[in-house]
Amino acid sequence: GINAEYGGQQKVLGATKELGVMQLFNAMRKEGLLTMWRGNGISCIKIFPENALRFLLFESLCSSDKLKVSRYDLVNKLISGGVTGILVQSLMYPVELTKTRVMTAQSSRGILGTVQAVAQENGKRFGVLNFYQGIMPALMGIIPFAALQLGLSKAGTDLYSEWNSIGNPGFWPLLGISSSATLVAMGFTYPLQLTKCRMQAYTGPESGRPKLFPMFARIWKETGAKGFYRGFSANALKAIPASGIGWSVFQKTQKLYETYIDY
């Protein structure tokens, strides 16, 4: 899985070294079923406004003429997805960093305790910039991810509707389209996402804070190319169905709104 550094030791969700599918079940067996929901409260706080912003911005950008810079509709959708990713990531990053700290903490301090600890790092009374640690690799990862995940989902949905001469694809086709788009997006961007999480989880002295390219070099030296996809299967088990369901529910809800409310 994604490793978190704590004084030279590696720890993720109570498991050491690497978080794979079997490690998830081992952690659940050792620490109880509730360990699988560690950090779920802040995840729910994060996901509601994040998805609302993502879908609202993406649909607005897709319908805007300002981002239609290419004669190819797919390119315009990919650009809209990338811009959406930048905006949403910038707004939600402090919440994401706090969630990462809550989920990888050695002791439970709660959401407010974690926020206070992050804010006071490096001797600052309240350091706002502390909540943006590791944002550069996050943005580098989210631009292609959002472009591919949202752009391909939108393009696939439109193409399916056109080929089948229907205005509203069913839930299962939508689920399959978005899940496939998410798998492609994860495959391309997972190394940057893994690096981002390792940088977010660092809690040591500021002088030892890992930088993007040295972290890449360190992962390559320690484990080679396969190290950049450590924990991919466990993360894919969550991200792919979650993204697929989110896109499908959004599309069906949007059609219901247009049919029954937006006269």
Average pLDDT, consecutive stretches of 10 residues, N- to C-terminus, the chain (263 residues): 34 40 71 71 77 93 86 92 94 83 70 78 68 80 92 95 87 95 93 76 68 80 85 86 93 87 65
Write down the pLDDT at residue 9.
Answer: 31
Write down the pLDDT at residue 196.
Answer: 73
| Coarse DSSP helix, strand, coil percentages of the chain, rounded to the nearest 5 percent | 75, 5, 20
The whole model's pTM is what?
0.72
Contacts with 212 (C-beta within 8 Å, 6 or more apart), sequence order: 136, 137, 140, 195, 199
